[in-house]
Amino acid sequence: MTSGPTYRYSYTWSPAQPTRGALSTSRQEILQISVAFLVLTFDFVLILYVGGIFSGQGLASLTSVPLWLVVVALTTALTAFVAHELAHKISAQRHGYWAEFRWSPMGLVFSVVTAYLGFLFAAPGATVVGGMGDPRDWARTSLAGPMTNAGFSAIFYAGSLAAVSVGNAFAPWLLFLAWINGWFGAFNLIPFGPLDGAKILRVSVPMWAAAMAVTVALAALGVLGLYGYWLPPV
């Protein structure tokens, strides 16, 4: 079982609020999102290759991880997590708010522990937004992450169809990427607590329902596609 990262937002003004539409970052943000990205990549390697503590392979098997699987893990973390977070950040900054990613060290450690146990619960951090008071801006900023996941899910699903048409054995992994992006998007649209869905639902029920329908449908397409294929041997 995998779980998408949860998101929390700050309602306080940043001392250095950017000009509306300007994009900015900091060394702290770059460092923290890079570490979170690498940890999540390692988590996906553990899930996809080691298979958990009960698989019998053990951590020693990591010395023989094939390069193509590392690429899959990197792509998964990059599209499902990093792109999602950057979409929140870019949306907030384009509306004139300070926004940067901040990691959760305990969340990152916990993600590695769960991955080694054979499932993934990931709470690697959050995009923190300062000074946002307009509910409509909250909805737009919150929607950006799941819709970015939906876009990647659709691209990977289309890629899997093209791969199948030419007999490419990589099609199942493209379906996996389509599924995981759809799932991350749908999970974050759950209207509960700090998740994106709660902020969107407060502003527009139809907007929330449409976004949830799209992400769930894309996740389902990935899963249904995987039922028709055997994953390539690791």
Q: Beta 98-103 vs 2-3: how paired, if at all?
A: unpaired
CA distance 84 to 77: 10
Q: Dihedral of the CA atoms 126, 129, 130, 135 (nearest 10)?
A: -130
The per-residue pLDDT for range 77-86, each reduced to its tens digit, is 999 999 999 9
Q: And the tokens for 32?
A: 């923290």
The per-residue pLDDT for range 149-208, each reduced to its tens digit, is 999 999 999 999 999 888 778 899 999 999 999 999 999 999 998 899 999 999 999 999
**What's the mean pLDDT in 30-45?**
97
CB 7 within 8 A of CB 88: yes
Beta strands in 36-154 (DSSP E): 98-103, 120-121, 125-130
What pLDDT is recorded for position 169? 81
Integer-rounded Cα Rg, in Å, for the chain is 18
The per-residue pLDDT for range 64-74, each reduced to its tens digit, is 889 999 999 99
